[in-house]
Structure 1
Amino acid sequence: MVCAKFGLAKADFRLKQIEYVLRFPSDDATSLRMRSNDGIIDPWGNLWIGTMNDFPITKKEGVLPEGTLYRIDASDMSVKIMLENTQISNGLAFNKDGSKFYWTDSLTFTVWQFDYNNETKELSDRKPLIDMRNVFPEQDSPEPDGLSRSNDGVFYHAVFGTSLVIRYNSDAEVLHKYVLPACRITSTALGGANDDKLFITTAHLHLDEFDVSIDPEDRAGDLGGFLYRCDLPDKVNSSAKALWAGK
């Protein structure tokens, strides 16, 4: 299953085909402007997925606050709108019991935290957790991208355009910065056999140029587009990824 341009789909990567099983509840004109971005499975097995402007729109008009954060219920595939008028949904996480929800809107440069009630399916008490402009005052656009959160409440957050992953706690105290030989840092994952690895995805500088020829053997200059592994000095108490609870 993949989150695609118009909704949730079954994908066959060998045949390079997708078949939609659910479409987001938007009109045709809006659907053409949007695509899926980052998402997460919550502790109860439901899918949360954010949409944003698709590439042809962003090239012409930039990113507009037309996005939506949806919750897709695993039991009946019903769709609930959780947040509207978003820009770039990224970096989602729950705490261990699911009572706290963390969500990144990259162009606000902020990670937002909410209280979450799974009985009512409602978010409340929205407030900023960390604003990357305070962490990177010298940067014009320090965009928080994908993140991981440990069971200890420690975040490992990729910051697009900075060459850095930052580690910070639930009090927004920055504990460490991991420097990579790539500018566009996109997401993180925690794990490894001994629970002491940080995996980091990056984007190539020419990602937006669809007709460009990229040589993966070229190790000169910016090394975006590679997957990196960082060996950490201690175990991180990583949280297991939740699984989709539907069929």
Structure 2
Amino acid sequence: MSAELIPFSGRKLDAAASMLGEGPTYDLHTGAAWWFDIVGRKLFEFKLASDKATVHELPMMGSVLARIDDERQMIATDTGLHIRHVATGELELVTPIEADNDVTRSNDGRVHPSGALWIGTMGKNAEKGAGAIYHATRGVVTVLFPNVTIPNAICFSPDGALAYFADTVTAKLMRVTIDPATALPTGSPEVFYDHSGGDGGLDGAVCDLDGTIWNARWGAGCVDAYAPDGKRLTSLKVPAGQTTCPAFVGENCDRLMVTSARENLSVDRLAADPDAGSTFLLDHPVKGQFEPDYML
């Protein structure tokens, strides 16, 4: 389980700290990075070229954003998938997911090259088995994996033939074969990496053009890189203990942005972890892939 730990090199973005930062992504058309404060019900927009942050208040808990076109975005929330009109911020519910379940909210998710979305739900207090991982496309929602506690690490291989995911409480990063044309599973999940007994927990992930999975490790303040054969290659240190999710950013898609959280930290722990909840841009070069658009 050991791998080289590379000291932090990068910078903290000039944006307010999040209680629970999640769902970072990058829009190459506008040069803006986006992420959520789930608990704070905020959506952050950050222009990398100007280092300017804009905070959009949300009426609900959001966790995942995907571009539809120049005028519209799809965001996953505690009631389902909403179209967000970029010019006004207006939200329009189009695909309910657990909308009648007050216990759960959306969590980790990612768009597949086919334009379909995998999205996870979980209990707002991490209730055991309260969530699930869904496949959503063109208004059709399919349950893929029920009885999930904390869905995380959803990402896809560059050819769209493999999906990765985790239930953080099981400490296992899973892999399953999927149809590249639909993102629906064609096989049964198998253990890709067993993190049992390791420091911290598996959180959000992205997969680069080489098939390397970059996974944020909650509670360990780092992002780990896993080769396609399941070997942990390296770990990049991040100056916030509760790292949540990485994203590929920049016009060349060659940088990692990482969100974090300050949720549930005591006064003493916050004093020892003053950058908790901040978002960071790492210097370590990567071969990222841009996020696909969501297909309505």
Q: TM-score range by the shorter chain?
A: 0.7 to 0.9
In structure 1, what residue type is equivalent to 2:238? L
Q: 171, 177, 184: which is aligned to 1:121? A: 184
Gaps of 5+ in 2: 1-73
Question: What is the rounded CA distance, in whole Å, between the counterparts of 1:83 and 1:91 in structure 2?
Answer: 14
The alpha-carbon deviation at position 194 of structure 1 amounts to 4.5
Structure 1 119/72 Cα, relative in aligned 2: closer, same or farther at 3 Å?
A: closer
Q: Which amino acid aligns with 2:143?
A: I
Structure with greater Cα Rg = 1
* CA-atom RMSD in angstroms: 2.7
Aligned twin of 1:174: 232
Q: Give the number of aligned pairs.
A: 219
Contact 1:196/1:231 (8 A) holds in 2: no
Match of 2:93 among 20, 30, 47: 20
Q: Secondary structure of the equivalent of 1:107?
A: helix
Cα offset for 1:43? 1.1
The corresponding residue for 2:75 is: 2
SS at structure 1 position matched to 2:174: strand
Would the alpha carbon gap of residues 64 and 123 (structure 1) be closer, same or farther in structure 2, given more than 3 Å must change? farther
What is the 5 A alignment of 1:68-79?
68-74=132-138, 77-79=139-141
- State how far apart, in whole Å, the 1-side matches of 2:214 and 2:122 are: 23
CA–CA distance in 2 between the matches of 1:116 and 1:194?
28
Partner of 1:53: 123
The AA in structure 1 aligned to 2:78 is K
| Bigger RCO of structures 1 and 2 (CA < 8 A, at least 6 apart) | 2
Q: Deviations over 1:119-173 (max 9, x none)?
A: 6933413111112225x2xx3xx21111111111111110001111111212221
Identity percentage over the alignment? 26
Partner Cα distance (1:152, 1:86) in 2: 29
Residue of structure 1 equivalent to 2:171 = 109
Select 1:91's aligned residue among 141, 144, 153.
153
For 1:33, the aligned partner's letter is V
Aligned-partner Cα distance in 2 for 1:101–1:196: 22
Separation in structure 1 between the aligned mates of residue 116 and residue 160 of structure 2, nearest angstrom: 12
CA 1:193–1:27: 2 relative to 1, 3 Å = closer
Letter in structure 1 aligned against 2:283:
D
Call closer, same or farther: CA 1:181–1:237 in 2, change over 3 Å: closer
Aligned AA (1:221): A
- Whether 1:82 aligns to 2:144 is yes
Unpaired runs of at least 5, structure 1: 213-218
Structure 1 CA distance for aligned equivalents of residues 141 and 207 of structure 2 = 26
Q: Report how far residue 180 of structure 1 moved.
A: 2.1
- Tell me the amino acid that sits aligned with residue 145 of structure 1: D
- Whichever structure has more helix as a proportion of its residues is 1
Distance in 1, matches of 2:250 and 2:184, equals 33
Q: What TM-score results when the alignment is normalised by the length of structure 2?
A: 0.67
Distance 1:228 1:119 in 2: 33
